Structure 1
């Protein structure tokens, strides 16, 4: 399964047109599509190309979630592309990371639409009804995954549920968030009903019914969050009771295991698709290192995105790269770990290092870095998967649902949190509150991209972030954080492609 995400893009590259800078996002010409889907393997390649747009997903979480949150104080000496994200600057509609999030997710959506359209038109070539249904379910899961990613960042979106031409794309306006959610929920319900519980062989790592249930639970929980008075992901819908049965089904399935060792969750030797490995992974973005040719790399680059280049250079490693400047973990997060908490050493590098005569003592994220596994050929070829949905998260989301009124008891909540704390080497606590759960999630999932979305959902994002800004922002770089900044702007390229079609999000 490691192969399917990215190797397929070579075979598919002649089919897919660019959509990174404008609305001309019809990914496959009608003529080429009509002649390509002629066998089961063609449809498999088609769905694999939809997975391929997950490759940069963990990088996006690093820049649009971690750096945006109170986990990082990313102020650079020379202004970098992440600085305005960190600083809540209003003029970021043309920012590299803002542009990438929109274009890559929509590219995945258009690819999914093409596969679904071709199954409808040329389903006789798929080979069997069961495979056709599974591929439909995979495509709809991934379409929902990409749309959910988008709605959390940008709010209102154009709903595109079938292949469109470039001209047609320039006439599809943004729809209300509630309507976008209708498509997401329908897709995830279909996926959960039609995806298998597990796979074998080369198919290990494809979306399962439990991945669909987990994402659907996250959708219900995001919808249940505060609206903050904006057209964002929170609808105040109070659907915690809809999320809980989905989480319970995953927990009761027996497919996943709470790993007793925190560090082994992120071990390079504990990776799918080897049978029996990493039972913490409900759904992960899979990479293939060491299979690169002269011009194609299929490994990961996310391990070094938030670590500085000078750190790798201090190790006399000239291939791993790293950020152009250090992107420090905030003092607030670093100091929140108890002395005995084993998660801190796994997550944050605090030892300091010297490069070119300069001592760097600021901490940075290292959760996914193993210096014994530094790739020898390319900084884009790290051999570790990214766990997009972790079993520990399923447990802690259940606790959150209960604290928000879903069926369950305080004893249930305490048991979940103390299971997490015991693994971290910490004593048990009782009477866990929402605030305590939010803090525990922050330490558990730091450098995994969940913090910004946890804050969105909590209803306390503005209070927490502005209090953090007051104490952390010693350089006075971060603007006051208002509700409008919970969303990112619509990318400037999209506004320019069809003037007047989209209205920019307020505040930008």
Structure 2
């Protein structure tokens, strides 16, 4: 895991401003320099925060994980993300920096916990905010423990069994480690989160300390610890990792996710409007438990540049929603899918009357003011302004809207070219769905709460009853198969493009759904009507792809790292 590089990079820190959560790099110095000042020490933890993952296309040259599953198709088949779907990934092309980046973060946490405790910063004692500064310092070690657990979750989710250690290790030691069983890794994460829930603050602004500002919202809280525990418990119970369907793991997952719901709602978290989940200020949303504050020089336009429609100034297309995702949006009046009897679907007007989250997430033919400065309606029919045969135009008939800032104008003379984006790491809506899944799998019913005071169906209905969604509530009496289909569909819709679907299909062992996607090809007729034709595109999938391959470069250094099956 390239330990020498990890150790040398740990001291390259980022300083946290007391008034915001922007990141500022400074030079690479060693341990002695870091210990010289308070800012240098705290900067190490800020640097580790900067290692948190987000899926705005930064890893795969614009590609999001949505384009590696059935949510989207990348407009350019030569893009890196397409190696997930064309069979080109392998141990020598492992398609991820998760292994290296996670262990870099873990080793940084281990070093910080081992080498930087016990400092007093005497030069600050006469400062008015000394108590606040020392609180930040002491709290930073709890934050480091959370971040370490977070990185381990990412590793376990992707690779299954992984080497687990909580002390600094030498190059020789790291190159002799063996893989720890994944359930033990999940157990360790859950145990750490239980402790951190008791130790981390709930609200940094309510500590009575001068100098603690709202910017501290960028730091992890006890609620984030609950959330990490709950997600880890859900994955531990899922078929990919819970191979003998141990029902106690489902019970633990139900309890953990219910704890997130109960605790967060008690202290003011709530579901609001779906459209307010993104935007420059989404980190202030009452639903957010923890977000990855992605601020670079006041903002950027990378996400928009990659995903604004081809044919719009500065737009390069990119992650184009599939017809599979469009089909998941039910009819608002009936709560039925387009192909269910009595749904009210009109094939001549296929987008009318759909779940409101469709229009909030996806750009379709005929949409206006997307982005805001675009005076022309979007045309995705063949030969249209934003359509094939233009190179890079959407192959699916749709463009992405969710997470993008419509106000950004990428034309040459524009002055509104930047926006701030924050990646949703944990939000309350996820945990209603997580709980619904876990309690359903534990009880075998959508309506039987067993020892719980909320049924699986009721939990899903909380999500469907959002202020700007208001979909028909799921009725009582659904069969287990019918509820499970409704649940999976609801999760695909609610969490679209938030990085869940890629892993959900794997932990459920539903890989067959990754064997193909469906595009919608539009043709404009002479009378102005549109003809819609479905086009199925095959993709490469086999069982080994449930887990990532361990990079061959790591196995060459450490022969104790057995490769995942099939790779």
Which interval holds the TM-score relative to the shorter structure? 0.7 to 0.9
C-alpha displacement at 1:430, in angstroms? Answer: 1.1
Q: Deviations over 1:355-404 (max 9, x none)?
A: 69845452233211123135799999641211111111122222223212
CA-to-aligned-CA distance 1:464-484 (integer Å, 9 cap, x gap): 445869x998344x23432x2
- Tell me the SS of whatever aligns to 1:264: helix
- When structure 1 is superposed on structure 2, of 199-208 and 347-356 the one drifting more is 347-356
CA contact (8 A) 1:332 1:468 kept: yes
Determine helix, strand or coil for the equivalent of 1:213: helix
Q: Determine whether 1:226 maps to 2:232.
A: no
Structure 2 CA distance for partners of 1:37 and 1:280, relative to 1, 3 Å: same
| 2:561 is the counterpart of 1:506 | no
Deviations 1:138-160 (A, max 9, x none): 11111111110111111121223
Match of 1:419 in 2: 462
Q: Which has the higher strand share?
A: 2
Name 1:335's counterpart in structure 2.
327
SS at match of 1:386: strand
Counterpart of 1:27 in structure 2 is: none
* SS in structure 1 at match of 2:290: strand
Say if 2:536 is the partner of 1:474: yes
Flag structure 1 segments of 5+ consecutive residues without an equivalent.
16-31, 292-297
The match for 1:262 is 274
CA deviation map 1:437-461 (0-9, x unaligned): 121010011111111233334x351
- Is 1:487–2:547 an aligned residue pair? yes
Shift of 1:195: 0.9
Q: Is the alpha carbon distance of 1:299 and 1:235 closer, same or farther for their aligned partners in structure 2, counting shifts above 3 Å?
A: farther
> 2-side partners of 1:97 and 1:220: how far apart?
26
Does structure 2 retain, via aligned residues, the 8 Å contact 1:220–1:242? Answer: no
Q: Which moved more, 1:191-200 or 1:416-425?
A: 416-425
- Provide the TM-score with structure 1 as the length reference: 0.78
- Tell me which residue corresponds to 2:510: 461
- Which of 274, 280, 290 in structure 2 is aligned with 1:283? 290
Q: 1:488 to 1:63 in 2, by over 3 A?
A: farther
Q: Is the 8 A contact 2:176 2:560 kept in 1?
A: yes
Q: Is the 8 A contact 1:72 1:330 kept in 2?
A: yes
Q: Which residue of 1 aligns with 2:176?
A: 171
Instruction: Look up the match of 2:39.
Output: 41
What residue number does 1:365 align with?
A: 400
- Residues 462, 481 of structure 1: 8 Å contact kept: yes
Distance 1:382 1:481, change over 3 A: farther
- Please name the residue that 1:436 is paired with: 486
**3-state DSSP class of the match of 2:561?**
coil
Provide the rounded CA distance (Å) in 2 between the counterparts of 1:503 and 1:130.
43
Alpha-carbon separation, structure 2, partners of 1:235 and 1:487 = 23
SS at match of 1:448: coil
Larger Cα-atom Rg: 2
Larger proportion of helix: 1
1: distance between equivalents of 2:121 and 2:269? 35
Report how far residue 5 of structure 1 moved: 6.0
Deviations 1:200-230 (A, max 9, x none): 3231221010011011011111101113798
Q: Which residue of 2 aligns with 1:112?
A: 109
Q: CA deviation at 1:290?
A: 4.2
Return the alpha-carbon distance in structure 2 between the equivalents of residues 221 and 139 of structure 1: 23
CA contact (8 A) 2:197 2:222 kept: yes
Using structure 2 for the length normalisation, give the TM-score.
0.71
CA offset at residue 257 of structure 1? 1.8
Q: Structure 1 residues 63 and 355, CA, compared in 2 at 3 Å: closer, same or farther?
A: closer
Q: Secondary structure at the match of 1:204?
A: helix
Structure 2 residue runs of 5 or longer lacking an equivalent are: 1-15, 123-129, 206-212, 331-352, 366-379, 444-448, 521-533
Deviations 1:235-275 (A, max 9, x none): 9833234424422343333231210x22122233x333xxx
Distance 2:168 2:230 in 1: 28
Equivalent residues of 2:85, 2:540 under 8 A apart: no
2: distance between equivalents of 1:302 and 1:91? 25
- For 2:495 and 2:435, the matched residues in 1 are separated by 15
Q: Give distance in 1, aligned partners of 2:247 and 2:146.
A: 22
1:115-152 CA deviation, whole Å, 9 max, x = no partner? 211244x4444977754542121111111111101111
State the partner residue of 1:447.
497
Residue in structure 2 matched with residue 7 of structure 1 by the alignment: 23
Count of equivalent residues: 460
Give 1:283 deviation, angstroms.
0.4
RMSD of aligned alpha carbons? 3.7
Q: Distance in 2 between matches of 1:264 and 1:421?
A: 15
Identify which range, 416-425 or 437-446, moves more after superposition: 416-425
Rounded Cα–Cα distance in structure 1 between residues aligned with 2:549 and 2:94: 12
2:91 aligned with 1:84 = no
| Contact 2:110-2:167 within 8 A present in 1 as well | yes
- Residues of 2 paired with 1:403 and 1:235: CA distance? 11
In structure 2, relative to structure 1, the CA distance for the partners of 1:280 and 1:34 (3 Å cut) is same
1:67 matched residue in structure 2: 67
CA displacement 1:384-431 (0-9 Å, x = unmatched): 211111111122222223212375669643333233223324222213
Structure with the larger RCO, 1 or 2 (CA within 8 Å, 6+ apart): 1
Please state whether the residue corresponding to 2:320 is helix, strand or coil: coil
- 3-state SS in 2 of match to 1:148: helix
CA distance in 1, matches of 2:74, 2:52: 25
Over 3 Å counting, the alpha-carbon distance change for 1:228 and 1:45 in structure 2 is closer
